[in-house]
Amino acid sequence: MVDSLLHFFLFASAVLMALIVCIKSTKYRNKNKKRFKLPPGRKGWPFVGETFPYLKPHHATTMGDFMENHISRFGKIYRSNLFGEPTIVSADAGLNRYILQNEGKLFECSYPKSIGGILGKWSMLVLVGDMHRQMRMISLNFMSHAKLRSHLLRDVELHTLSVLDSWSVRRTFSAQEEAKKFTFNLMAKHIMSMGPGEVETEQLKREYITFMKGVVSAPINLPWTAYWKALRVEHLEIASNKKQKGDVGLNWDDYKQMEFTHCVINETLRLGNVVRFIHRKALRDIQYKGYDIPCGWKVLPVFTAVHLDDSIYKDPQQFNPWRWQKNSSSAAAMSGNFVPFGGGPRLCAGSELAKLEMAVFVHHLVLKYDWELAEPDHPFAFPFVDFPKGLPIRVHVIT
């Protein structure tokens, strides 16, 4: 009996002590929270927060209902609970630039553990600090301007011609799959000296295609539109000049003359940006526009929201490559808020190569083929850009 009473007393004391500790810690946390002026927002469901509605598939040329509703209700900077952590979401161009420019000082790359588990701990996407800088320098050596001029331009052109020649007997196919294979085969040859069709190349390509979602961002149907005609005129002029000079193959001057092509590429990336947002973490308490971002909180700069901001881009839902021309009154303001490849110390090392690939491919495509959608297929964000049907197109050789 005495033992039972003693056990009950000890148990009751332990429960009481636990309650006191919980109450005190809750009061401390609440007191600690009150010193922060957090952006408005909501937490959502326990544990998962608002992750599922945030990742809900939507048309790739929009921000999606979640972002539009939250911006309308809370403003361009709001708080949420995403991927299991308290998060500040930014659709504010100034804050996004501030985050990118202060990488490693005030903010640090911080992707969910699931991403790191898939990519591996040595992936440039998840590395931080000195290790990331070293890996980035290695990558930049492969894709420097000197390499682009001396080797890669010719390699990209030869690979482009090979791919386009294969289309002449196929007629209808998935443009998305062709784009994935085009990108992979080019990089496999350049970085790993692996040729198309080799057993190791094909095996690695299958793994690459399985993993990568949405490496294509083309929310447009070019043929028979004003910008398609403008593109064709530009590339016919380049081809005519080369023929008169007896030149074979594109050179760097030809690439730099593709001014309208670069406008089309920019507008395509703006409307169908593959990297729609990035994951960062605050390294210290930060104040911005009257709001506090507590140390350790996740921060999500949403690039798509800025690219579709009507205070920066006139009629942002419209595909208008002319907005990027140098004589455009808003070109300078738009460029400062245009970040399809990120920015700051973590600017994509392959950004210049990507633009070179697109420009060379478009050059030969508009000279060799007319094309059309084989069936309607609109890009969706999952959250990466993807085409449900693979973007089936039908091509016709220009005679």
Q: What is the pLDDT of residues 6-29, one digit of tens each?
A: 443 434 444 445 455 445 445 545
Judgement on whether residues 154 and 285 belong to the same structural domain of the protein? no
Judgement on whether residues 287 and 351 belong to the same structural domain of the protein? no
- Distance between CA atoms of 373 and 221, rounded to whole angstroms? 7
Q: Is the pLDDT of residue 108 over 90?
A: yes
Place of tokens 């002319």: 322
Q: Which two tokens stand for residue 46?
A: 């326990």
Return the percent helix, strand and coil in the chain, to nearest 5: 50, 15, 35
Judgement on whether residues 282 and 364 belong to the same structural domain of the protein? no
Q: Is the pLDDT of residue 168 over 50?
A: yes
Task: Please report whether residue 17 resides in a domain.
Answer: no
- Distance between CA atoms of 125 and 148, rounded to whole angstroms? 23
> What's the pLDDT at 116?
66
Q: What is the pLDDT of residues 312-321, one digit of tens each?
A: 999 999 999 9
> What's the pLDDT at 227?
64
> What's the pLDDT at 189?
75
Task: Please report whether residue 195 resides in a domain.
Answer: yes
Q: Is the pLDDT of residue 278 over 80?
A: yes
Judgement on whether residues 251 and 367 belong to the same structural domain of the protein? yes
Judgement on whether residues 330 and 211 belong to the same structural domain of the protein? yes
> Mean pLDDT in the chain?
82
Q: How many domains does the chain have?
A: 2
Judgement on whether residues 116 and 45 belong to the same structural domain of the protein? yes
Taking each helix axis from N to C end, the angle separating 175-192 and 351-368, rounded to the nearest 10 degrees, works out to 130
Task: Please report whether residue 20 resides in a domain.
Answer: no
- Higher-confidence residue of 300 and 141: namely 300
Q: Average pLDDT for residues 280-298, to the nearest whole number?
A: 96
Judgement on whether residues 215 and 123 belong to the same structural domain of the protein? no
Residue 85, classified by CB atoms within 10 Å of its CB into exposed (0-12), middle (13-18) or buried (19+), is middle
> What's the pLDDT at 229?
73
Judgement on whether residues 187 and 119 belong to the same structural domain of the protein? no
Lowest mean pLDDT among 78-82, 107-111, 193-197: 193-197
Domain that holds residue 106: 37-142+276-307
- Distance between CA atoms of 31 and 28, rounded to whole angstroms? 5
- Distance between CA atoms of 104 and 226, rounded to whole angstroms? 44
> What's the pLDDT at 6?
41
Burial code of 290-325, b = ≥16 C-beta within 10 A, e = fewer? ebbbbeebbbbbbbbbbbbbeebbeebeebbbebbe
Lowest mean pLDDT among 39-48, 195-204, 267-276: 195-204
Judgement on whether residues 367 and 289 belong to the same structural domain of the protein? no
> What's the pLDDT at 289?
94
Task: Please report whether residue 116 resides in a domain.
Answer: yes
Task: Please report whether residue 29 resides in a domain.
Answer: no
> What's the pLDDT at 379?
87
Q: What is the pLDDT of residues 34-93, one digit of tens each?
A: 588 999 999 999 888 999 999 899 998 899 999 999 999 999 999 999 988 999 999 999
Task: Please report whether residue 349 resides in a domain.
Answer: yes
- Higher-confidence residue of 89 and 346: namely 89
Residue 390, classified by CB atoms within 10 Å of its CB into exposed (0-12), middle (13-18) or buried (19+), is middle
Judgement on whether residues 266 and 285 belong to the same structural domain of the protein? no
Q: Average pLDDT for residues 232-255, to the nearest whole number?
A: 83
Q: Is the pLDDT of residue 191 over 80?
A: no
Judgement on whether residues 248 and 225 belong to the same structural domain of the protein? yes
Judgement on whether residues 70 and 138 belong to the same structural domain of the protein? yes
Supply the CATH number for residue 254's domain.
1.10.630.10
Place of tokens 């011609």: 161
Edge-to-edge strands of the sheet including 380-381? 58-59, 380-381, 385-386
Q: Which residues contact 112 (CB under 8 A, 6 or more apart)?
A: 83, 84, 279
Task: Please report whether residue 11 resides in a domain.
Answer: no
Supply the CATH number for residue 96's domain.
3.30.43.20
> What's the pLDDT at 15?
45
Task: Please report whether residue 113 resides in a domain.
Answer: yes
